[in-house]
């Protein structure tokens, strides 16, 4: 618990019976910036140690700014049941389940979906499967050639989605070059924004030192929706 938000743990059951350990960062009563919008954050690649704890800094920062934010461990991570998949397609079901649960449980008709690293393609594949999602934020989407061996089949879903999109990336990202990012986004539908952080690498940007900047960028994006 903090002065300005509360943290609660829940277990959300997915469509295939997987049980997902979920945390809700909720602003204190009277401090909500938007009582009708929730933010769901999708963590980096499970198989390389990705877990919801990596997104605690951003989620708590969003709650301190008045937004209900949710993190969760995808299948096979932490106390969540099931088994992680190599390409992230089973995990898309987890994202859909948590978004629907958040919307129904906390009466939030609008959701912003955010994915970090490999969580970005997984979240991107879920965007148009969830009616309540009104926008999407990617932190370090792995568009590069090597990463595309695993996640390339996710690209089409987010690039063809008409929903507003923000892609945040460091210019020294080891998985995706600035050129690769721009080439991919040239074909994207709908409103697309990019924010490049000069001289910063993929894992560096995921670290706690950039949490406050991520929160600021997310809040500005929400204000534009």
CB burial string 158-184: b at 16+ within 10 A, e below: bbebebbbbbbbbeebebbbeebbeeb
What are the helix (H) ranges across the chain? 56-64, 89-105, 119-126, 145-151, 155-160, 178-185, 202-206, 211-224
Write out pLDDT tens, residues 35-55. Answer: 799 999 999 999 999 999 999
Q: Is the pLDDT of residue 125 over 50?
A: yes
- Do 223 and 137 meet the contact criterion of CB atoms below 8 Å apart? no
What are the tokens at 203? 């894992």
User: Residue 147's pLDDT band (boundaries 50, 70, 90)?
Assistant: confident
What are the tokens at 141? 């989407």
Write out pLDDT tens, residues 174-219. Answer: 999 999 999 999 999 999 999 999 999 999 988 899 999 999 999 9
pLDDT at position 1: 43
Distance spanning both ends of the chain, measured CA to CA: 30
What are the tokens at 70? 């949710």
Hey, what domains does the chain have and what are their CATH numbers? 5-223 (3.40.50.1820)
CB burial string 34-47: b at 16+ within 10 A, e below: beebbbbbbbbbbe
pLDDT at position 40: 98
Q: Is the pLDDT of residue 3 over 80?
A: no
Q: Cα 13–15–20 angle (5° rounding)? A: 30
Write out pLDDT tens, residues 154-163. Answer: 999 999 999 9
User: Residue 221's pLDDT band (boundaries 50, 70, 90)?
Assistant: very high
List Cα–Cα distances, 192 to 1, 75, 168, 197, in angstroms. 36, 30, 11, 17
């Amino acid at each position: 618990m903090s002065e300005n938000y509360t943290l609660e743990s829940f277990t959300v059951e997915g469509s295939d019976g997987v049980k997902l350990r979920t945390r809700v960062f909720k602003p204190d009563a009277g401090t909500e910036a938007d009582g009708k919008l929730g933010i769901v954050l999708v963590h980096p690649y499970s198989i390389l140690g990705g877990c919801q704890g990596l997104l605690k800094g951003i989620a708590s920062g969003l709650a301190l700014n008045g937004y209900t934010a949710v993190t969760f461990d995808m299948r096979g991570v932490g106390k969540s049941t099931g088994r992680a998949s190599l390409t992230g397609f089973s995990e898309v079901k987890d994202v859909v389940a948590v978004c629907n649960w958040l919307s129904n449980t906390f009466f939030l008709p609008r959701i912003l979906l955010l994915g970090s690293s490999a969580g970005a393609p997984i979240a991107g594949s879920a965007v148009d499967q969830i009616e309540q999602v009104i926008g999407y934020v990617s932190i370090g989407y792995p568009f590069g050639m090597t990463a595309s061996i695993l996640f390339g089949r996710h690209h089409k879903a987010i690039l063809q989605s008409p929903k507003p999109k923000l892609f945040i990336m460091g210019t020294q990202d080891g998985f995706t070059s600035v050129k690769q990012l721009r080439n991919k986004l040239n074909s994207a539908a709908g409103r697309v924004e990019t924010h490049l952080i000069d001289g910063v690498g993929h894992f560096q940007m995921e670290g706690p030192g950039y949490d406050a900047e991520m929160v600021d960028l997310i809040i500005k994006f929400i204000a534009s929706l």
